[in-house]
């Protein structure tokens, strides 16, 4: 007879405790431990003996490149590393209403038009509600099957019977397994259902996309183990009141991480943006102090983004420092370098730094552009509208080399920029283009002398 055991599981990190506690020792969150009943059954399988699978030498395994499933959205294919891999488990997270279901329904329609059967499992909507959204997106295909089901056992039977080329589960928080006594959406249910879907994907060689809800902090709901179990983790970002959406890859076992795809939300669905640099720079003010352009690498793609800074005298005892789109701790660091190495008195100034367009940048190559923006706003001296600033800034005021300078310069030349101010160490070792001027600098002071108008 099965034995029952009561335990308390944290809904944020998955920490298990035999008794209830107000604060989770794992993640230090309050009131996140929920009582669950765990059933343990005895198994007659011996602990030792021969298994069905034996270890083999890696040299005896034939290496072959399997073809991927390509969609009509090239941006989506590039974020995944070249297309959908057979037997992969992909997790897509994002804020409510951002467009996750719209994107997956469009992909389902595109694959169904390629004569590939697709099973769309909706645990939050009925089949009629899914049909209403499909009509709005002009989605209609005989090979697109819709299933409104939340029981994992029935879902597995339908997958085994239909044998589709792609399975979409929207969302994982609504699916439950009978053997787990906790409610759907709990840590135990999400973990067990994801593990079962992973087994189905690997054994049947079927790619499965699962949608995950996000918490108030922006992380995927449930324990971090959910992201470790899947092959690829995609985040759908963007403001609900703006039309542009960013699909970002934060984990990918079959491609490059930190890839980014840009989409535009329209009435008929999501449309891919092939040249995002033009989108980010189309509303830039010419001749405004505190505005610079940087060439940032998002995965394998160079993207030109405008960085804006506003420096104003503070009216408080402690000056304010605010950052949008960049790390907050980077702003006080760069301001300290400007004050110590350049001589700008910024200790009594409020500083506001923003990356225009809603994109988030986290690479060190944007340091020089941020520093020039702050100095430009403080001195009220604008930069040339056709200048690009690239470089990492050290604590001694030096400008350090960055990676992939060739791709950054080519993107700047393609959009009509005339000068690139970059580290001196990056000039050697490659052929400089003739259509754009490359200026090497060693310190931030040199970059300010070249970039700011007198």
Which SS3 state, helix, strand or coil, does residue 171 take?
coil
The closest alpha carbon to 372, from 258, 254, 289, belongs to 289
Other CB atoms within 10 Å distance of the CB of residue 262: 24
What pLDDT is recorded for position 277? 86
Q: What is the pLDDT along the chain (454 residues), one digit of tens a residue?
A: 456 678 888 877 778 888 899 999 888 888 888 888 766 555 555 444 445 678 888 888 887 777 899 999 999 999 998 999 999 999 998 888 888 999 999 999 999 999 999 999 999 899 999 999 999 999 988 999 999 999 999 999 999 999 999 999 998 989 999 888 788 888 888 888 999 999 999 999 999 999 988 766 666 666 566 888 899 999 988 766 678 888 988 899 988 877 888 898 888 889 998 888 888 888 888 888 999 999 999 877 899 999 999 999 998 888 999 999 999 999 999 999 999 999 999 999 999 999 987 788 989 999 999 999 999 999 999 999 999 999 999 999 999 999 999 999 999 998 889 999 999 999 988 888 888 999 999 999 999 999 986 5
98 is in an annotated binding site: yes
95 is in an annotated binding site: yes
100 is in an annotated binding site: yes
Q: Which residues contact 192 (CB under 8 A, 6 or more apart)?
A: 177, 179, 180
The Cα diameter of the chain in Å comes to 85
User: What is the 3-state composition of the chain as percent helix, strand, coil, each rounded to the nearest 5?
Assistant: 30, 30, 45
What pLDDT is recorded for position 294? 95
CA distance 265 to 369: 30
Specify the DSSP class assigned to residue 170: E
96 is in an annotated binding site: yes
Other CB atoms within 10 Å distance of the CB of residue 66: 9
In 280-342, DSSP assigns E strands to: 291-298, 301-313, 321-324
What pLDDT is recorded for position 128? 93
Determine how β-strand 419-423 pairs with β-strand 437-441: parallel
Specify the DSSP class assigned to residue 66: P
* 111 close to 165: Cβ distance less than 8 angstroms: yes
94 is in an annotated binding site: yes
State residue 327 phi and psi, 5-degree precision. Answer: -65, 130
Residue 281's H or E segment, with its range, is helix 276-281
CA distances from 271 to 8, 144, 147 (A): 45, 21, 26
Residue 297's H or E segment, with its range, is strand 291-298
Residue in this structure with the two tokens 């449309």, named with its chain if needed: 271
* 228 close to 221: Cβ distance less than 8 angstroms: no
């Amino acid at each position: 007879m099965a034995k029952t055991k009561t335990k308390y599981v944290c809904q944020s990190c998955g920490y298990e405790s035999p008794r209830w506690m107000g604060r989770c020792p794992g993640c230090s969150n309050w009131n996140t431990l929920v009582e669950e009943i765990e059933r343990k059954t005895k198994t007659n399988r011996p602990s030792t003996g021969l298994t069905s699978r034996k270890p083999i030498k890696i040299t005896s395994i034939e290496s072959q490149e399997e073809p991927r499933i390509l969609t009509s959205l090239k941006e989506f294919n590039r974020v995944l590393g070249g297309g959908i891999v057979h037997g992969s488990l992909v997790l897509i997270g994002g804020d409510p209403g951002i467009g996750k279901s719209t994107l997956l329904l469009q992909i389902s329609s595109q694959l169904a038009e390629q004569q590939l059967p697709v099973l769309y499992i909706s645990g939050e909507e009925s089949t009629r509600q899914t049909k209403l959204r499909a009509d709005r997106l002009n989605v209609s295909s005989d090979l697109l099957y819709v299933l409104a089901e939340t029981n994992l056992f029935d879902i597995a039977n339908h997958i085994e019977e239909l044998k589709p080329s792609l399975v979409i589960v929207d969302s994982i928080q609504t699916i439950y397994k009978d053997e787990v006594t906790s409610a759907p959406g709990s840590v135990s249910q999400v973990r067990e259902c994801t593990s079962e879907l992973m087994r189905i994907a690997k054994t049947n060689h079927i790619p499965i996309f699962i949608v995950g809800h996000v918490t108030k902090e922006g992380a995927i709901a449930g324990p971090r183990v959910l992201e470790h179990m899947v092959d690829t983790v995609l985040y759908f970002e963007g403001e609900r009141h703006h039309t542009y959406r960013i699909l970002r890859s934060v984990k990918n076992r079959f491609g490059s991480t930190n890839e980014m795809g840009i989409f535009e939300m329209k009435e008929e669905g999501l449309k891919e943006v092939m040249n995002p640099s033009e989108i980010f720079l189309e509303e830039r003010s010419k001749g405004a102090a505190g505005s610079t352009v940087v060439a940032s690498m998002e995965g394998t793609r160079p993207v030109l983004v405008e960085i804006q800074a506003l420096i104003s005298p503070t009216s408080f005892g402690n000056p304010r420092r605010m950052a949008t789109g960049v790390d907050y701790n980077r702003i006080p660091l760069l301001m300290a370098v400007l004050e110590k190495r350049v001589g700008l008195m910024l200790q009594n100034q409020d500083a506001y730094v923003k990356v225009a367009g809603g994109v988030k940048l986290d690479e060190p190559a944007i340091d020089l552009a941020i520093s020039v923006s702050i100095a430009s706003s403080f001195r009220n001296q604008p930069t040339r509208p056709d200048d690009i600033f690239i470089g990492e800034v050290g604590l001694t005021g030096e400008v350090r080399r960055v990676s992939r300078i060739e791709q950054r310069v080519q993107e700047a030349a393609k959009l009509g920029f005339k000068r690139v101010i970059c580290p001196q160490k990056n000039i050697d070792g490659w052929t400089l283009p003739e259509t754009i001027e490359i200026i090497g600098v060693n310190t931030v002071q040199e970059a300010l002398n070249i970039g700011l108008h007198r």
